Every structure is written in structure tokens, then in C-alpha cells.
Chains A and B, each alone.
Chain A
């Protein structure tokens, strides 16, 4: 039977709660993934696992995209707005042209980029 990344992530998350030896747990988990020939989906498993852990702790997965390289101070001031429980990822996305876009749990977003404004203008 083939396991989905979600199956792996949920299994790992529930074992994590009980186990104390994290190193041993991770190595055995990787062995199981390898045995099933599912190494290719490891990045997806990791992403789902992160989301699950963040949600379990009451936080959100937040993606912050900047149009170009931004000063460290500015990034910090934005990141300060979020709770420590949140998992915040930052990246550079030149297709935004200018501005910033923040996505919450891949479901809701605040888009203050120039590309969105232009899109709305010429709609």
C-alpha cells in the first residue's frame, strides 16, 4: 500500500508526542520511508509535518513574499507582528514587481504588491 505524505506526517507527529529519543525516532522514520521507496516525497512530508505541528500548537503557517531584497530591519519589523507559535517563511518573488504578499495557511492572503494592483486596475 502506498502512503500519502499526510499519512507519514500524521504518524510522525503522533509518535513525536510520546517519544523522548528524537534522534532515534527520526533515524527509524527515515529508514521506514526508505524501505517503502518514498524518499521522493520527503520534502512534502516535511511540509505537511511542519503545518501539522504548527496547527497543533495553535499557530499558523505564514509565507511572506517580498518583491526584492529587503533590509534586515524591515524584515524583522514585519516578523515581529506574528506570534512565536507561527511558522514564518520569507522569500523573494520578483513577479510581484513591488510590495509584499503575506499568505496564511495557504488559504488567506494579504496582497499589497504592485502586480495585484495592476491586475485589479486592468480587470
Chain B
């Protein structure tokens, strides 16, 4: 074996030809905290990748500032190895990530390098004649795969002509969201709230539920972790693996320990991966967790690059940073393959202040927001969604007919309940009608409570909400609502699967006949409950 290697090397050395030529070159004149200032290279392009030749090897850097006499660049590697006088060469390439179906099921960094100890990602990169480094590294191994492609991290968003309006739902498996704040494929829905209010839990439930959402094409999920604790990312990957969700998920990780440059690039890498699947005509869902930390990492880089600071010391182009990222979420027209990229950005607020700079920016860019409140969370209402302040601007057109039928009345009932909630303590002095409304509202609020990692499939959400708004739970004690729900779903699954659940799942509608069957099933169940 070693003889072969030496012989191969010998041949390579013998055949090596080196033509002396004039090359463009730059020199590092300043290096600090992940930023390098370079003189020379007059033809360098914005966003081009340059190679810094250090004593320990080549380190790539990204052209960020093109100034009169120098280039400001972001170092994409170990910046401690870069020193003044190191030579810099052009590559003529913009920053891109290699994407293919084999990336599904993997944990990668924003430059596409694997972080999960499952070996090389793409079969084309395996050494010739050798077996895959670790069996089962990718869920797609063994299938006929499309060729992996390099996707640029920065890309112009699809134009108006290439787009179509949102019409297919992305079910999160959370009753409150799917019924009142529906999300469509190609939509951008912000998840906003203080720390510890369950933002990541909603995103995770949305990923987990994709396996349950039968009847629609499978969604490829991309979870982008920006500035998160390594332990949290490891926990999320474990949850996804245990639930079998890594079969259709990619995790892009730029933890808190990663340089600001990688944290800045992570959402763009996640978006590029999503775009690959969108361009192939598939549906993708990308979760940016979270864009507050992304904005902070960009602020850090901008200040180090000596760009002028603006409000809250963020640079002037912070709005454009997020708008160009989120604009890439789209539902493509049939001519373009009909794929979609749904974006769920997450923003962490400080003490519920949604009027801070970054939250207002992202609220204005997205097509709606799911607002989580710590007060509701502490009251035990989980998910702690404030239904009054949450909105989905385009999702209702993607909602299924069955869900629309129950959701309209649910919203109204809950709105009336909220109005009357202040009078709960004077319950004895209220008239019968108001009392009933309050009691119905309390039961509906109880029904919308849901533990995390327990997403409910769409057809089950419909039947449960139907029971709630049509008064089938009015005589059930509040503390037994959860039990009623579980047992009723179990009953339906065993006794009326074909007539109710399967029919709603197939047709996405709640026809008169199905409704009749559902009512009779409810009556039947109430006799035994």
C-alpha cells in the first residue's frame, strides 16, 4: 500500500509542470478579530473568496469592503494564524455551498463541512474504490441521486414573474397555529418572543409534524442554529434523530463558539440549501434560530470593518441584510418547477419589547408573526401564543377547507371570551348567555394547550376543534379536557378511522356526510366517556 502511494506521488512529481507567470497578489496589512485588511489585488470582486497563504496552510476569506487603497475581508477560518505580510490570492469564485440530496440527515457548518462524524457528505468526494466512510451517514444512500451542485450563499430572490401565491399549507401540528395563524408553503412567518417562551419548541414541532402530514409532498426541513449553545444544538439533533425527523432534515450549525463570520453566514447557507430543493420542485422549510443573534454577529463584523454605526450600533444595511435573506423564501410558479421555500425566522425580544430595532425590521419584512408571551407561558398556557397579537397575512389562502370550517368560529369564540374574561370573577352576577360564553372560552383555551414535541396531525386537529366549538365539551370538566381529547382521538382511530379521519385526510374537506359521521361518533363517544 505504502509502495503504491510513493509510486503515485513520484509520478505526480515527475509530471508536474510549473510555468512562471505574472500573478495578481495581495498582502495582509492588518489582521484583527476575524478581519483582515489587504493591500493589492486591484481586480478583486465584492463577495469573492480570497485565499490567505499562512505558514500553517491556506485560509479563505470573504471580500467585504472594497476601499480606495485596501480590501476589508472577513476571515473564514482560524484568524489567529493570519499575520501581517501573508500573501493573498484571488480565486474568482463567490462563496457557495455544495448541496445535494445526500446532505439530508447531516449536521453541517455554514461552509458545508460535516460536523456529525458521519464522514464525507457526497459520494463523489469519496476516494475512488473505497466504501462510504460510515454506513448510513445519509438517509439517501443507496438511491439514485441527483448530482450535487454548488449553490451561492448570496443570490437574488426570485422575481415577481417567477412567483405564485401561497396555496398549500405547512402544518405545524400545533392546534392554535394551524387553526388561527396558518402558514402556507412559501410564506415567511416570524416567531417572536422573550427567552424561554417556547420559540424553538414551535419550530421543532413544525419539523416533527412534517412526517405526519400525509397527503401533501414531503417538506425538506433545514434548521439553522445561529449563536446557540453547543449543548442546545446537540439536544435538538438528538430529538430530531429519536423522532426519525433527520430523514428529511438538515441542521446548519454556527454555535456561540463559532466566529462571528460563520454566524453571519449560517442563515444564508441554510437558505442556499433550501433553494436547491425549491429549484428541484420540492418544498423546503427553513428555520433561522435566531436572527437577533445573526444581527449581532453582523454588527460585530461591521464595526470591526469600520463601517459607520447607526441605531443600536447596527450598520445601515441591517434591514437589507434580513430583507434579502427572507425575500428568497418563495412559492415558485409551475414554469419554474412549482417548488417552495418557507421561512420561519425567530427573533428573541428583551422584556417583550417588540418595538426594538431588529424586531420591528423583521416584523415588517415577514408575512405575519406568532407572538409568544412570557405571562401566558407562566400561566401554564403552552404554546404561549398571544392569539390577539399574532397574525398570518397570507396563510388563510393556504388553509384547507376542513380547517377553515372550524377555524373561523374558533377565532370568534376566543375573541369574545377574551372580551368577557375580565368579568370571570363576577361570574355569579352574569347572565346565562355570558356565563356560557366564558365557560366555552375556558374550555377552548384548555383545548389549545399542547405539550411540546407532541404535534397533532391536521385531520385530528380538525375533529378535536370541531368538538370544542360545537359544544360537545361544554359539559366536560375543565381538568378533563385533555383526557377527553386523547380518548376521543383514540376512539376515532379505532372505530371510525375510515369514515372520518381518513376521509378528511384524503379530501382536506369536512363534507356534510363526514360531518354527520363525526357528530354521530361524538355522540357515541360521549355515552362511554
Show the binding face of A for B, using Cβ within 8 Å.
Answer: 6, 103-104, 106-112, 116-117, 119-121
Contact pick for A108, options B12, B22, B39, CB 8 Å:
B22
- Complex alpha-carbon distance, A103 and B27, angstroms: 11
Contact pick for B53, options A110, A112, A119, A121, CB 8 Å:
A119
Q: Which residues of A contact B20 (CB under 8 A)?
A: 110-112
Q: What are 28 A-B pairs with beta-carbon distances under 8 A? A: A6-B69, A103-B25, A104-B22, A106-B25, A106-B27, A106-B39, A107-B25, A107-B26, A107-B40, A107-B42, A108-B22, A108-B23, A108-B24, A109-B22, A109-B23, A109-B25, A110-B20, A110-B21, A110-B22, A110-B23, A111-B20, A116-B18, A117-B16, A120-B16, A120-B18, A121-B12, A121-B13, A121-B16
Q: Which residues of A contact B69 (CB under 8 A)?
A: 6
Number of B residues, CB within 8 Å of A? 18
- Complex alpha-carbon distance, A57 and B20, angstroms: 29
- Complex alpha-carbon distance, A100 and B131, angstroms: 44
Q: Which residues of B contact A103 (CB under 8 A)?
A: 25
The residue of chain A having its C-beta at the shortest distance from the C-beta of B29 within the complex is A106
Q: Mostly helix, strand, loop or mixed at chain B's interface?
A: mixed
Tell me whether B41 is interfacial, beta carbon within 8 Å: yes
Shortest CB-to-CB span from A38 to chain B, Å, is 18
Query: Which of A109, A110, A116, A120 has the most B CB atoms < 10 Å from its CB?
Result: A109
Contact pick for A107, options B13, B21, B24, B53, CB 8 Å:
B24
The residue of chain A having its C-beta at the shortest distance from the C-beta of B41 within the complex is A107
Q: Which residues of B contact A119 (CB under 8 A)?
A: 53
Q: Are A117 and B18 in contact (CB under 8 A)?
A: yes
The residue of chain B having its C-beta at the shortest distance from the C-beta of A4 within the complex is B69
Shortest CB-to-CB span from B370 to chain A, Å, is 49
The residue of chain B having its C-beta at the shortest distance from the C-beta of A95 within the complex is B55
Shortest CB-to-CB span from B22 to chain A, Å, is 5
Q: Which residues of A contact B42 (CB under 8 A)?
A: 107
Query: Which of A107, A110, A112, A120 has the most B CB atoms < 10 Å from its CB?
Result: A107
Q: Are A106 and B16 in contact (CB under 8 A)?
A: no
Shortest CB-to-CB span from B492 to chain A, Å, is 64
- Complex alpha-carbon distance, A116 and B87, angstroms: 11
Contact pick for B23, options A106, A111, A117, CB 8 Å:
A111
Shortest CB-to-CB span from A32 to chain B, Å, is 23
List B1-22 residues whose CB lies under 8 Å from chain A. 12-13, 16, 18, 20-22
Shortest CB-to-CB span from A16 to chain B, Å, is 21
Q: Are B40 and A106 in contact (CB under 8 A)?
A: yes
Q: Which residues of B contact A117 (CB under 8 A)?
A: 16, 18
Q: Which residues of B contact A116 (CB under 8 A)?
A: 18
List B21-60 residues whose CB lies under 8 Å from chain A. 21-27, 39-42, 53
Q: Which residues of A contact B18 (CB under 8 A)?
A: 116-117, 120
Known: A6-B69, A119-B53. A108 touches B16 (CB 8 A): no
The residue of chain A having its C-beta at the shortest distance from the C-beta of B18 within the complex is A117
Q: Which residues of A contact B24 (CB under 8 A)?
A: 107-108
